[in-house]
Chain A
Amino acid sequence: MINKKINKEEKELVLERIKSLSDDVVVSVGSKNLTKKELINSIEKEDEEGRDIIKAQIEFLKAMASGEIYNYV
């Protein structure tokens, strides 16, 4: 994951989703606890946590689109 190139469109999509988050939430990922502002910064920089968030969000959206999500509800 660390060395995998980030798809620019996926990154933009995730950034927009994160920008719409409530200011009251913190996402704990790895050893970091990130506020909305810090999440945006991490994604823009494509650091480890930013890459993890992009991966998790895209997997979720793909599962929604493919219908895989219905295996989990």
Chain B
Amino acid sequence: MYKCVLITRPNHDSLTNYLYYWCNPVINKAKEKGFVVLDLNSKKANPKNFESYSKKNKPSLFFLNGHGSSVSITGDNNTPLIEVDKNDDLLDKAIIYARSCNAAKTLGKTAVKKGAITFIGYIDKFYLVYKISRITEPLKDGLAKLFLEPSNLIPTSLIKGNSVYLAYEKSQRAMKKNFSYMLSTNASKEEKDSAFALFSNMRSQKIIGNNQAKIY
């Protein structure tokens, strides 16, 4: 299979800024594994680019970061990139990981019905808690790391050639480990107070479609 990953990572508010920077380790891993990386970053994460890059390159993995709803995932300035019954067929024959709110609820199901192999996403809100004092250096924010490092395990594990189910299990295990720590006496007050949000992410992360699929 063609080793190509398309990543959308807008960067127009503080959440998307965090997601933007936390995509860097995934991009590095993909390049290391010989993937063609289509990086639709910042303003490049627009509907025109998304459609043309998807149609031309037929990526085997879509890693979509940004705000979302049950029926769409957005790019720069919250402009929808992919929408139910509009262009969800662009995800045909691909594995998708959507790091955005609610998209697994409806969009994930319609995408799989229209030919996507597997859609991994969240059926409820995707929560991120981060520190104002670290907002200019997202990769050094230890609180955000508790949320974003486990979620990065989905794409990095897939890029390594693991199955969807194993990628999901690795992410779930890492969230459980962090959650356990957040409930412990070793955690800071900020970490303890954020446990509810990671708990929600754990329960809301779902696989739709073929859970044994691999990119290669």
Contacts and interface: CB of A to CB of B under 8 A. Distances in A.
Interaction A to B: yes
Interface of A: 17, 20-31, 33, 35, 52, 56-57, 59-61, 63, 69, 72-73
Contact of A30 (B125, B143, B193): B125
Contact of B190 (A22, A33, A59, A72): A22
Interface of B: 13-15, 18, 67, 78, 101, 125, 127-133, 135, 143, 176, 179-180, 183, 189-190, 193-197, 199-200, 202-203
B195 A25 contact: no
A60 to B, nearest CB: 4
B14 A26 contact: yes
A56 B200 CA distance: 6
Chain A contact residues, majority secondary structure: mixed
B84 to A, nearest CB: 18
5 closest pairs, A vs B, by CB? Answer: A60-B196, A28-B15, A73-B180, A28-B128, A56-B200
Contact of B132 (A28, A35, A60): A35
A24 B199 CA distance: 21
